[in-house]
Amino acid sequence: MTTLPKTLESKAKIRFQHCDPFNHLNNAEYINYMINAREDQIINHYNLDLFKMAQTQGISWVVGTNQIAYLKPALLMEDVIIDSQLHAFTENQLHVEIRMWNHNKTELKSVMWSSFVHFNLLKQKRWNHTPELMELFSSILNPLEANTFNERILQLKPQKV
C-alpha cells in the first residue's frame, strides 16, 4: 500500500477578472481559488471526486464555515502555490487548512480554515462518513498545533524583531 501525501499542493495564476482596481485579487476570490485548488488536489491525489460522489451516491460535503486571513496581496498575473491539509475530522465533518503562497513559497498570502459537513443530498440531512472514508481521513490527517484560527495566524505570520 502506498502512503498518501498529507499536504497537497498545486499552482494557479491570478487572473484579471478576479482582481480589484488595485490589481489585487478580490477578497472574495481567494475563497474560490482555494476551494477549487483543494477540489482538484483531492481528485488528483486521493481519487475523491466530490461531484461523482454526489451524482452516483447522493452524498457530498457542504461548506459549514470559512475563516480567512489576508496577509499579503496576490497580484494580477502572479503565479501562486496553494497547499492544503486535513487537520481534523469527525464522523460527519472535515476541517481543512488551505494556504496561498507566492511562486516559491517564501511569502504567505492567505490562510483559510474551512469546515465541511458531510451531507446526504437525497435525504437532505447531515450524514456520517463511511468506514472507508474514515480510514482515508485517518491516513491523511495532518493535525496542527494551534487550537484556534487566531493562534494559527500568529504561528504563521512572520514575527517582527
Beta bridge partners of 130: none
What is the mean pLDDT of each successive set of 10 residues along the chain, which is 161 residues long?
91 97 96 98 97 96 97 97 98 98 97 98 97 98 97 85 56
User: What was the pLDDT predicted at 157?
Assistant: 85
User: What was the pLDDT predicted at 160?
Assistant: 61
Quote the CA–CA distance of 129 and 135 in Å, as a whole number.
Answer: 10
User: What was the pLDDT predicted at 1?
Assistant: 58
**Element (H or E) spanning 79, and its range?**
strand 79-89
Q: How many CB atoms lie within 10 A of CB 44?
A: 11
The architecture (CATH level 2) of 8-156 comes to Roll (3.10)
User: What was the pLDDT predicted at 159?
Assistant: 62
Answer whether 0.75 is exceeded by the pTM: yes
Pairing verdict, β 125-126 and 108-120: antiparallel
Q: Are 137 and 90 in contact (CB under 8 A)?
A: no
